[in-house]
């Protein structure tokens, strides 16, 4: 699912609704490159807790992102555990500016966008195919010089 309708959940203050959902994630762009969550549909835990002052939303899942390595453009796979929390203040009659949850439109919780943004927050600055991919060129140089010295010996 990409969205969740809150109307199906009736909570009293202090109560919590927990549900295993099938979360649908779309590919997204990062630094001009395209990253694909695999699988596109994955199990996630959605929890909604009613506090006296509002609603607390928790979304938990682990996804694997497939995309190009920042340095060598080879295939990179990154496991991303996500544990996101959002808060929606209860509406008050005074109409005071409240803390609004960005992914809530009326009773509709936009899980696709929330999930994608939550993944983005967990990502490192650079996605690499392996932690030491930065050293690829150095290794290449060493090999070349080894080959050069071998050639000199012949």
- Which of 104/133 has CB closer to Zn ion? 133
Task: Please report how close the Cβ of residue 30 comes to Zn ion at its closest, in angstroms.
Answer: 15
- Which of 99/123 has CB closer to Zn ion? 123
Q: Which residue is nearest to Zn ion (CB)?
A: 69
Binding site for Zn ion (CB under 5 A): 69, 71-72, 74, 129, 133
- Strand boundaries in the chain, DSSP class E: 3-5, 16-24, 28-30, 33-38, 41-51, 54-68, 75-89, 104-105, 108-110
- Which of 41/142 has CB closer to Zn ion? 142
- Which of 60/71 has CB closer to Zn ion? 71
Q: Which residues contact 127 (CB under 8 A, 6 or more apart)?
A: 30, 35, 65, 67, 68, 69, 70, 76, 78
Task: Please report how close the Cβ of residue 139 comes to Zn ion at its closest, in angstroms.
Answer: 12
Task: Please report how close the Cβ of residue 121 comes to Zn ion at its closest, in angstroms.
Answer: 23
Residue recorded with tokens 């010996």: 153
Sign of the four-CA dihedral 61, 43, 131, 124: negative
Sheet holding 108-110, edge to edge: 3-5, 108-110, 104-105
Task: Please report how close the Cβ of residue 113 comes to Zn ion at its closest, in angstroms.
Answer: 29
Asked, as a colleague might, if the bond just before 39 is cis with ω within 30 of 0, I would say yes
Task: Please report how close the Cβ of residue 122 comes to Zn ion at its closest, in angstroms.
Answer: 20
- Which of 66/71 has CB closer to Zn ion? 71
């Amino acid at each position: 699912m990409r969205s969740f309708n809150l109307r199906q959940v009736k909570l009293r203050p202090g109560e919590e609704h927990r549900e295993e959902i099938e979360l649908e994630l779309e590919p997204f762009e990062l630094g001009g490159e395209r990253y694909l969550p695999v699988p596109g549909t994955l199990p996630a835990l959605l929890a909604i807790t009613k506090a006296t002052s509002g609603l607390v939303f928790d979304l938990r899942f682990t996804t694997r992102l497939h995309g190009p390595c920042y340095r060598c453009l080879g295939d990179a796979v990154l496991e991303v555990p996500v544990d996101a929390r959002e808060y929606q203040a209860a509406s008050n009659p005074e109409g005071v500016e409240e803390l609004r949850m960005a992914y809530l439109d009326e009773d509709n919780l936009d899980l696709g966008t929330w999930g994608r943004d939550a993944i983005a927050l967990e990502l490192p600055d650079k996605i690499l195919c392996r932690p030491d991919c930065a050293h690829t060129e150095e290794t290449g140089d060493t090999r070349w010089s080894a080959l050069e010295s071998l050639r000199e010996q012949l």
